[in-house]
């Protein structure tokens, strides 16, 4: 009897432990966190490594990592989904395939990274497949004279393009056997190739119309091949930004006519508004395609640092009412917050910061006085070159009527102390550190990213947000807000004294535009020889 009870109790315990084990394995397998670590030989501490989703719409950096003196770096981020991600460093970009729960071990030489990289560990096989496919495309491109192909008659053009497709897919099949990658990355690569071929076909059609033959029409064989290349349209529009560009290019002439007709007499209508109305009449497009295309246009056309509040309100209404996909809606909302910062009139988010002496500091300590909140980092190229001289003048002019709080978002407190002592020496104000840098609570609450540094926000005497985020200290709109908050009247300055073009998603000022945008088109398999 006791033996039977013991066995029963043992079995119950084993079932319990087995259940816990299964739950643990399930949790691990569903984890979205990606651990990143690596080393760049000859890497510069002034450069940053960023990762962002490649297939998203107007997505923001998921992680921004500094380089140690020995070239090493590390960090982690929540991956929205398994798929392609853009990695950027020093003004260069490349694609890598990542899955939640993986550890990305990546290394390279600072002269070429990330154009060329080495991956080890559990992300290796998928990226070995991707790298091999990309290298083949680079070699294969040298064998195709695209100019010559584009000048051929339609039948010869289609024959040539179909050969390109066959050759590339044959190589993909060979690499699948060699590296055994996951099906998802293989599907992505095939969709990427199909999107590139579709873009080439659009160029062919438009080119022949522009060569003195506006009535040029392609045959059924042409459109049949187009349809063959896009049998899974919704997956392609989700995965490949280049496919979205293809669809927009195809509908561009029709939309231009629609926009000209429906914008007559209207001075404040936005591209996003017009395109939103245009899409409502497109019965041949799925809701998925409409959501991605509308989001693409919103991010490209009407969502930038400096967008007027009235336009931002219009865009928010479109996002709330007409974007149906929850993920896209969320991404655009985050992007709009990152671009504009907290809403003017709302109570300024409070947060705990740290002074050089280690004492805690809260932004709410300024209540009763208006203040200018300045976010900066040592690695941002604009803070020392162009901002500090203008900042000195602004502080000296307004300091009798308002406070200045300089929030450092460097990676460590030691860097904060060194940077604030050197850059802000002699400038009146409170110097504080945001623990965690760009991953800090204050950066999150104020929508601060690398592409927005340095960043300026005015808070009024009642502790409410008095301005949108500014990235140019010489903007007239910012000066007007400062004048209003202080009762002073600043002399007008030339805004060109400070660089108006701010860096994009990375830290290199020439790498990207001023606001987060779609990812560049993937490498074409057969550019002009």
Q: What is the DSSP string of 325-367?
A: -HHHHHHHHHHHHHHH-SPTTSBPPP-EEE-TTS-EEEGGGGT
pLDDT digits (tens, 9 = 90+) for 207-260: 888 876 777 899 999 999 999 999 999 999 999 999 999 999 999 999 999 999
Q: How far, in Å, are 150, 191, 199, 315 from residue 243 at the CA level?
A: 20, 9, 8, 24
Kindly state which CATH superfamily the domain 352-497 is placed in.
Answer: Glutaredoxin (3.40.30.10)
Backbone angles phi, psi at 123, to 5 degrees: -95, 5
pLDDT digits (tens, 9 = 90+) for 259-284: 999 998 888 899 999 999 999 999 99
Mean pLDDT of 340-364: 95
Strand 352-354 with 118-120, pairing: unpaired
> Which of the pair, 62 or 498, is modelled with greater confidence?
62
pLDDT digits (tens, 9 = 90+) for 30-67: 568 999 999 999 998 889 999 999 998 878 999 999 99
- pLDDT above 50: residue 77: yes
Cβ proximity of 380 and 408 under 8 Å: no
Task: Domain ranges for the chain, please list them.
Answer: 1-29, 30-123, 352-497
| Domain 352-497 in the same topology as domain 30-123 | no
Mean pLDDT, rounded, of the chain: 87
Mean pLDDT of 492-519: 39
* Burial (0-12, 13-18, 19+ Cβ within 10 Å), 142: exposed
Mean pLDDT of 442-457: 94
**Given this model, what pLDDT does residue 493 score?**
55
Percentage of the chain exceeding pLDDT 90: 76
Mean pLDDT of 374-383: 89
Of 297, 250, 454, 464, nearest to 366 by C-alpha is 464
Of 190, 231, 243, nearest to 55 by C-alpha is 243
Kindly state which CATH superfamily the domain 30-123 is placed in.
Answer: Carboxypeptidase-like, regulatory domain (2.60.40.1120)
* Burial (0-12, 13-18, 19+ Cβ within 10 Å), 97: buried
Alpha-carbon torsion, ordered 135, 233, 220, 166, to 10 deg: 20
Place 2 in a pLDDT band, splitting at 50, 70 and 90. very low
- pLDDT above 70: residue 304: yes
Give Cα 295 to chain centroid, integer Å: 13
- pLDDT above 70: residue 29: no
Q: How far, in Å, are 373, 457, 469, 473 from residue 460 at the CA level?
A: 11, 10, 14, 18
**Given this model, what pLDDT does residue 165 score?**
97
Place 385 in a pLDDT band, splitting at 50, 70 and 90. low
Omega into 407 within 30° of 0, i.e. cis?
no
- Tokens for 118, please give them: 């080495």
């Amino acid at each position: 009897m006791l033996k039977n009870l013991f066995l029963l109790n043992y079995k119950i315990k084993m079932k319990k432990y087995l259940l816990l084990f299964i739950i643990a394995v399930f949790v691990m397998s569903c984890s979205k966190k990606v651990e990143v670590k690596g080393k760049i030989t000859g890497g510069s501490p002034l450069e940053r490594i960023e990762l962002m989703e490649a297939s998203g719409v107007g997505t923001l950096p998921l992680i921004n990592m500094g380089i140690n003196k020995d070239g090493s770096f590390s960090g982690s981020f929540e991956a929205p989904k398994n798929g392609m991600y853009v990695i950027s460093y020093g003004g260069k970009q490349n694609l890598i395939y990542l899955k939640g729960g993986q550890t990305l071990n990546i290394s390279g030489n600072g002269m070429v990274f990330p154009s060329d990289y080495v991956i080890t560990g559990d992300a290796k096989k998928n990226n070995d497949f991707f790298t091999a496919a990309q290298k083949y495309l680079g070699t294969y491109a040298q064998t195709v004279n695209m100019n010559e192909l584009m000048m051929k008659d339609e039948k010869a053009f289609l024959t040539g393009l179909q050969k390109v497709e066959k050759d590339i897919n044959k190589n993909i099949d060979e690499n699948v056997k060699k590296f055994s990658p996951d099906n998802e990355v293989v599907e992505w690569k095939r969709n990427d190739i199909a999107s590139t071929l579709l873009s080439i076909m659009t160029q062919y059609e438009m080119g022949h119309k522009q060569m003195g033959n506006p009535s040029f029409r392609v045959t059924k064989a042409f459109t049949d091949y187009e349809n063959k290349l896009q049998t899974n349209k919704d997956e392609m529009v989700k995965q490949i930004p280049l496919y979205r560009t293809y669809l927009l290019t195809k509908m561009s002439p029709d939309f231009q006519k629609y926009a000209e007709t429906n914008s007559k007499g209207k001075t404040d209508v936005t591209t996003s508004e017009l395109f939103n109305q245009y899409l409502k009449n497109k019965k041949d497009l799925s809701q998925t395609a409409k959501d991605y295309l509308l989001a693409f246009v919103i991010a490209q056309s009407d969502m930038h640092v400096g967008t007027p509040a009235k336009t931002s309100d219009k865009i928010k209404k479109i996002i709330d009412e007409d974007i149906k996909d929850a993920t896209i809606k969320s991404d655009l909302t985050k992007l709009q917050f990152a671009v504009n910062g907290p809403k003017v009139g709302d109570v300024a988010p409070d947060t705990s910061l740290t002074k050089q002496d280690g004492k805690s500091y809260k932004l709410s300590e300024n209540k009763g006085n208006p203040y200018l909140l300045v976010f900066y980092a040592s690695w941002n190229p604009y803070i020392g070159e162009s901002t500090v001289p203008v900042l000195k003048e602004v502080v000296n002019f307004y300091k009798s009527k308002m406070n200045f709080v300089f929030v450092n978002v460097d990676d460590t407190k030691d860097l904060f102390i060194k940077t604030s002592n050197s850059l802000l020496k002699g400038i009146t104000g409170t110097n504080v550190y945001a623990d965690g840098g760009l991953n800090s609570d204050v950066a999150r609450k104020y929508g601060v990213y690398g592409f927005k540094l340095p960043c300026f926000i005015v808070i009024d005497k009642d502790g409410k947000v008095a301005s949108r985020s500014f990235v140019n200290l010489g903007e007239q709109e910012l000066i007007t807000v400062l004048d209003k908050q202080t009762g002073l009247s600043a002399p007008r300055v030339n805004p060109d004294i400070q660089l108006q073009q701010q860096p994009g998603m990375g830290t290199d000022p020439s790498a990207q535009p001023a606001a987060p945008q779609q990812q560049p088109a993937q490498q074409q398999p057969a550019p002009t020889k």
